[in-house]
Amino acid sequence: MPDGERERTVATCESCDSAYAAEIWSNGTIQPIGTRTGCECGSTEFQVIGDTSDTVPQNEEID
């Protein structure tokens, strides 16, 4: 993935297992969509749910 691009996926908080729609940035950072401070529990560590090949590049349309 080129620099600055991101993919959409689903990720869970590593502390409390809350699930979020998220973006994976080209540097590997996982950022929940709609929150810039991390999970409601205070954690900022997330893990992608399932296979990363199921992610949707931001520039592709979903049918």
Structure tokens at 27: 């540097």
The domains of the chain are located at 6-56
Q: How confident is the model over 9-47, as pLDDT tens digits?
A: 999 999 999 999 999 998 999 999 998 889 999 999 999
Kindly report the pTM of this predicted structure: 0.68
Q: Which residues, listed in sequence order, are joined to residue 12 by a DSSP beta bridge?
A: 19, 47
Please say whether the beta carbons of 13 and 43 come within 8 A.
yes
Between residues 57 and 36, the one the model is more confident about: 36
How many other CB atoms are there within 10 angstroms of residue 14's CB atom?
Answer: 13
Task: Give me 48's structure tokens.
Answer: 């992608």
